[in-house]
Amino acid sequence: MSGPHPSTAQIRYAVRSALADLSPGAVVLVACSGGGDSMALAEAVAHEQRHDDWSSGAVVVDHGLQPDSAEVAGMVGERVRALGLDPVAVERVVVADRGSGLEAAARDARYAALDAVADRVGATVVLLGHTLDDQAEQVLLGLVRGSGARSLSGMPSTRGRFRRPLLGVTRHQCRESLEAEGVAWWDDPMNDDPAFTRVRARRAVADLEADLGPGVAAALARSADLLREDADHLDSLADSAVQALGAGPWEVDDLAALPRAVRTRVWRRLLVAAGAPAGQVGTRHTDACERLVTSWRGQGPAHLPGDLRATRSGGRIALSR
């Protein structure tokens, strides 16, 4: 008797490995859009739960961004139920763009819905269907934006209750698996709309593969893994430095003694702790604080998010509103 298709076997193994630490009776939710990636993930989860002692369900988020979104969400819900996932929650959300862009607003609404359902059913883990290709696109976007190591490190495999088992699996492999298992999926037309940054990044990766040869996506994803290790280490050093510095005002000499790669991370932590919204603290703000240490010419305060001011006086730097 022959085994499953190689792509199916790889995806099921990735899921099995990602859930190996679960306790008996744990509940796993699959975030499923109905696309090829999340349906391949749902199929693998449904298969693995038959051989383990945890149970699985799914969450289908209807963003309401297309006229037939409710019908599509209902169809996806039926498909994952047919695979054997239960409970299946179909959640309608309101996507409110408050200036961050439609993609970011949809993502925020989606994660809020996933958290709410997970709380409601007592789920230990929520699985996301991001693939190696998604990781490569994330790194490419970070490069274009001139981001630092943390942004270039891409998406982590685990963050809180969220896990991404398929970061080592390609989009093509997901569709190969579904075809082999006879599972249908839905192609979202928004995934081909160049109005969205993510779609343009996807096309750019494909163009690079065509021009430079295969392996570009895998190389970008591998770079993310390496940079994540570096970023994790620097973040650990920054956490220790913040603890050692204590409450402000902070001595300029103490700040100057820190390596710049650590000090910029320290600034971010100090600003957020003082009340700056984390999502608004950027490089230009940490650079403004840096100048108070490294380029002091008697200048006035640095103006920062959250109505904060960083001022230098008497060899010390203070943050205040």
Binding residue ranges: 33-38
* Backbone torsions φ then ψ of 90, nearest 5 degrees: -105, 110
Binding residue ranges for ATP: 33-38
Single-letter amino acid, residue 238: A
Q: With CA atoms as reference, report the closest residue to 86 among 123, 131, 37.
A: 123
Q: With CA atoms as reference, report the closest residue to 304 among 291, 292, 286.
A: 286
What distances in angstroms separate CA 90 from CA 47, 68, 73, 131, 293, one per listed residue? 22, 14, 7, 23, 52
How far is 40 from 314, CA to CA, in rounded Å?
61
Do residues 319 and 252 make contact, with C-beta atoms less than 8 angstroms apart? no
How far is 172 from 162, CA to CA, in rounded Å?
23
How far is 231 from 223, CA to CA, in rounded Å?
12
Q: With CA atoms as reference, report the closest residue to 27 among 72, 89, 75, 112.
A: 89
